[in-house]
Amino acid sequence: MTVAELNRCDRTRFADALDGTFEGSRWVAERAWDRRPFSCLEQLHASMAAEVANATAEEQLALLRAHPDLGSRARMSDDSGDEQSGAGLDRLNPDTGDRLQRLNALYREKFGFPFLLAVKGRTVDDVLVALERRLGAGREVELVEALTQVYRIAGVRLHDRIRS
């Protein structure tokens, strides 16, 4: 689908086409529909990110919590599964898997949402280094970083789905 074709969609079809761009948060696409027409993919992405930025704290937290833990074996969306697989997170040795699960649990306990990182082009070591580093952040700083990562993930997903 192209941006021009998206611009011609009704709200439901528009949201259907973009569902999953922001994990488990269809409302982002539904609200962004009001900002049409979009001149390019970058404007669409910026509009969707603005909807998240303008959302309530509860909506933002729900969006963050809709993401699976990195390296988990839990059921996840096809997008998340593909992204994690690309970073090797589906092929962890037992020691690395245990370490990642332990760090994920510490992160979730401290911040109240899963550790989020746009993993495309990254390795397991990159994920572990980032997770350990970000565990030292304060909650407000980490909330901003987590949303920044969500915007990056959404950008990758948009580029995979929509043509300019």
Q: What is the pTM of this model?
A: 0.91
14-70: pLDDT as tens digits: 999 999 999 999 999 999 999 999 999 999 999 999 999 999 999 999 999 999 888
98-153: pLDDT as tens digits: 999 999 999 999 999 999 999 999 999 999 999 999 999 999 999 999 999 999 99
Q: Which of 31, 45, 67, 134 does the annotation list as catalytic?
A: 67
Q: Which residue has the tokens 């043509």?
A: 163
What total number of domains does the chain contain? 1
Residue 72's domain is classified under what CATH number?
A: 1.10.3330.10
Residue 105's domain comprises 3-161
Q: Is 45 a catalytic residue?
A: no
